[in-house]
Amino acid sequence: MTTAGTQADLGSFGSDEPHTPGGPQKPDAKDDSTDEDDPGPGSDDEHSKEDDQEDDSLTGLIYARVSSDKQRKGTTRNNDDDVDDDDGLLDEGSIEGQVEELEEIAERRGIELPYDPIADEAETGTDFDRDGIQEVFEKTKRKDIDYLLVEKVDRVGRTAAETLYFIYILQSECGVTLLTSSGSRDVSETPGLMQTTVMSLTAQIQNELRIAKANKERIRGFLKKKNWTCKSPKIPLGYEETDDGWLTVDPEEKPIVRDVFRKFKSCGNYAQTERYIDDEYGKEHLDGHRVKTILQNWVYIGQPRLPESWLEGTTYKNDLHEPGLHLLRVEDDAEVDVCEETFHRVQNIIQEKEQQRSDEDTMELLDFIEEFSLFSVIQGSDPATLLHHCGHPLIRDGQLDLKGEYTVHRYRCRHCEEAEDASDYYRRWPKEYEFDKIRLIQQVIDDDEPDFIDTE
């Protein structure tokens, strides 16, 4: 139950209505998956006669996705190094182009399209928190649909495990087979499963390569070209953006930044520091700026840095020195008495606070996934969301012991706590029975004997 949406998104794909496993029988459900030995352009023309003689009653739903505004408009990217679309380097097809191609495939195969195409515009394929893909699942779950038509497997998603799980749920729970421009993907048969797995893994690898290339361009833009927006579109408090994209000191905000460091050093509390700054200087100054983010920014001592994780596997170093951007140097006539040592003392305080938090050793959603597996967590527990049944968000409220083995968070709904019994407005995740299911499923996956089986 973290801000990461992976389990909540995937967990919502579990069926909430009874379905016949495997769905309705389709004439080509087994044959199509073997027609893809050469899934190159135009391979649809090489399908067997059975494929061209589909039952007229077969229905399909078109899904298209583009991951940048340029794709949405049907344009391609140029070679400008400063272009940093997050997810568009390998995709060329516009929404219109994908839909047109898929409509032709449907017509050729005799598949009716009773519903309007569903599209996700300028959406990344690395997660399933997309309106379009969620709508696809809702329609396939409740409507009589035989095929989901997409241009390529990676239009569904670019993370292999999640994409395969989504396709599997579509077929096993909803009776819907994936159909791409190179043929159908019947994951209930070994050939279709293997081909879909390879394509999903290929899409994930391409996505990782694309991200690596984009990151290198951003690193070079920041460290070599001194373009601040290559790191972040937000200009730090205390600075203004120059015409060439770098920073210059804002003399009116400089005292505010110095006072943020002075106050936090004395109180060690983010919220108290924020309240002080709001009262002293006005709420408009910290609007959109988190106190912790300000305190951890090395630009305030003239050493602008990128996150170290960006530089892993590269030859770049965080070695920029910009004395003109130093806002915490000692000044005899300064309104706020701080120095560079103040910055380093603040970093120690933050580290101490983080250490105290980690010492709690409370299990989060991602910890359970790492301890067991994504599949076990999804299958063994209700979707982990931060919404109460009333629709309002849940907040953390202490820790609870889980069967003497783990410590987990307890959550409560502030909206309902005055109107309902504590048992109704509190929520723990996972509950004990959910934990038992998660562990049992993982034992079966690992081919271990479940705890309740007496082997003696």
Query: In what helix (H) or strand (E) does residue 358 lie, and over which residues does it extend?
Result: helix 340-359
With a cut of 90, say whether residue 258 has pLDDT above it: yes
- Rounded to the nearest integer, the mean pLDDT of the chain is 76
Asked whether the predicted pLDDT for residue 87 surpasses 50, the reply is: no
What is the reported pLDDT for 353?
81
Min mean pLDDT across 56-60, 92-96, 261-265, 425-429 is at: 425-429
| Mean pLDDT, range 257-275, rounded to an integer | 93
**What are the distances in angstroms from CA 203 to CA 69, 91, 137?**
20, 11, 21
Q: Specify the 3-state DSSP secondary structure of 306.
A: coil
Least confident of 199-203, 270-274, 318-322: 199-203
Q: How far apart are CA 247 and CA 225, in angstroms?
A: 12
- Which region, left, alpha or beta, applies to residue 361 given φ > 0 means left and ψ of -120 to 50 means alpha? left
Dist CA 4 CA 2 (whole Å):
5
Whole-number pLDDT of residue 180: 87
Could you tell me the domains of the chain? 6-216 (3.40.50.1390), 226-359 (3.90.1750.20), 365-445 (no CATH)
Contact between 71 and 123 (Cβ < 8 Å): no
% of the chain with per-residue pLDDT over 90:
30
pTM: 0.48
Residue 446 confidence (pLDDT): 66
As a whole number, mean pLDDT of residues 276-281 equals 94
